[in-house]
Chain A
Amino acid sequence: MSITDYGTQIHRETVAARAPWSRVLRAGEVLVIVDVDGNQAVDFLAYDAHDRAAYSVPATLQGQASVFLTTGSVLRDAEHRPLLTVLDTDVDRHDTLGGACSKESNTLRYGHHTRGQHACAENFLAELSLHGMGKRDQVSNVNWFMNVPVDPDGALGIVDGISSPGLSVTLRAERDTLVVVSNCPQINNPCNGFDPTRAEMIVYSGVAS
């Protein structure tokens, strides 16, 4: 599918490495997230723009046949309502089990020397605060371009990515949706190839269905 199928481009912005980003998508608008430099995890939350019901990992998984996100996946809020649909992806699968990195969980995963490092939870809290939201609204999220397999014995872990420069994922807003992004700053595991880089956000008007 050519991106021109998504209507008129209404916004295009590069999110710097390690930075947050947010925008309200109107129902029908299409967001293309581009992994510009390759293997950059883009942590992602979504909320109903009006009642602020949050993205829900369990509700999303209950509505599909796999624990991974791919074309056709519907991101649902905690009340099981669709927020966004994955229209297309260049990467086979994306993660929604691993959650976001935080200064606090980094101390568990890598040691207390990481306490001063920037983390996705910081980006989420800062960006949510701009919308009058806070800690209670920060729920477990989507990790676009992040590779988190589940082994037969239940072992789960963030392993080397399967994305590469220029690959993208395309989402359509099913309702007016606030999307909040943390361009992941993690440097202690392979989720960003140990080198956080840019992400690009392109918003299209969508087309009448």
Chain B
Amino acid sequence: MSASTTSTTAGARVHARAQEGTVVDAMPLLPASAHPAPPEGVEPGALRWSERIAGGGYGHRVLARGTHLRLTDVDGDACASLVVYNALEPHERLNVADTVKVQWQVYAGAGQLLLSDQGRVLATVVADDSGRHDTLYGTSALARNVERYGDGSPQGPSPAGRELLVLAAAKHGLDRRDVPPSVSYFQGVRIREDGSPEFHGSAGAGRSVTIRFEMPAIVLLADTAHPLDPRPEWSCGPLDVLAWAGEPTGADDALRTASPEGRRAFLNTDDYLSARGIA
């Protein structure tokens, strides 16, 4: 009987170190500047976060004000659930109800402001070639995925979005009660006149949404099947994440004055950040 190569600390160390360089489909790329195809006009040195999140996985970061975050639905089967917090005071967070109410619009897309519960702009959607999104149905819960698929645990075959977001939140000192309703990108829902939802699904492979952060932000992402996905089997494709340093919405940007509500939201944001010495 031959000795195992990992029966000693030295052997285990050699074994562990030999694993470096393994490439899998879903993984982070470090440094982010090594990304082979930065967006047009973006220097490799400005890249801040490059990662492919597997279907059923999650990602999270603290992003500086001005950072642009591009999410890409690689195979046309991703569903990115996004939650955003003010990194300076995380009890201020994305408020989907205020986001849709203040802007008089439930459908997400380019030009939408992601508003906090404090009347400020956490982020703005600056580009969107998908158009299939949802602001009302949030993400899945463990109990519901157990009911629908037989399992909803993060380590299982059909992870619940809330369980993934809870893990992501925990890594920023936030707990289960800190995870509010999320916005979902790449799986569309429309509301019929009688109030019933119509699931439109994906717009196809390669579609992207780009979000610009107007405040220092804790960003949580879960990539898992939309709660209204009608397929009996759980299914979710990979999500590409690419972020780069940039500028927040400028003083002369048309987005600032696109609506009176948005104009006042930017004023509130400037007021808060300037008092903190940030902008």
Contacts and interface: CB of A to CB of B under 8 A. Distances in A.
A63 to B, nearest CB: 8
B145 to A, nearest CB: 9
A113 B174 CA distance: 34
A31 B151 CA distance: 35
Interface string A148-174: 001010111110000000000000000
Contacts of B98: 99, 102, 105, 108
B197 interface: yes
B137 A98 contact: no
A96 to B, nearest CB: 9
B56 interface: no
A108 B97 contact: no
B146 to A, nearest CB: 9
A97 B102 CA distance: 12
A12 interface: no
A138 to B, nearest CB: 8
Given A66-B196, A104-B118, A136 B105 contact: no
A188 interface: no
B177 A99 contact: no
B91 A135 contact: yes
Contacts of A97: 97, 100-101, 106, 136
A41 interface: no
A56 interface: yes
Given A58-B139, A80-B144, A108-B264, A67 B191 contact: yes
B107 interface: yes
Interface string A29-69: 00000000000000000000000111011110110011110
B138 interface: yes
B130 to A, nearest CB: 15
Contacts of A134: 91
Contacts of A66: 194-196
A99 B106 contact: no
A154 B96 CA distance: 14
Given A79-B143, A104-B118, A93 B179 contact: no
A79 B142 contact: yes
Interface of B is mostly: loop
A107 B268 contact: yes
Interface string A114-139: 00000001000000000000111111
B105 A154 contact: yes
Contacts of B227: 58, 62
B138 A109 contact: no
B181 A111 contact: no
A187 interface: no
B159 to A, nearest CB: 15
A140 interface: yes
Given A62-B144, A136-B91, A152-B193, A105 B102 contact: yes
A78 interface: yes
A57 B264 contact: no
Given A59-B138, A97-B136, A98-B101, A54 B177 contact: yes
A162 to B, nearest CB: 14
Given A67-B197, A150-B106, A154-B107, A108 B119 contact: yes
A61 B228 CA distance: 10
Contact of A108 (B115, B176, B177): B115
Nearest to B102: A108
Given A150-B191, A156-B106, A137 B119 contact: no
Contacts of A93: 195
Contacts of A157: 101, 104
18 contacts: A56-B181, A57-B136, A58-B136, A58-B139, A62-B144, A67-B195, A68-B195, A78-B176, A81-B143, A97-B97, A97-B101, A98-B97, A104-B118, A104-B120, A105-B101, A141-B97, A156-B105, A158-B101
Interface of B: 91, 95-98, 100-102, 104-107, 115, 117-120, 136-144, 162, 176-182, 190-191, 193-197, 227-228, 261-262, 264-265, 268
The 3 lowest CB-CB distance pairs between A and B, nearest first, are A58-B138, A99-B97, A104-B119
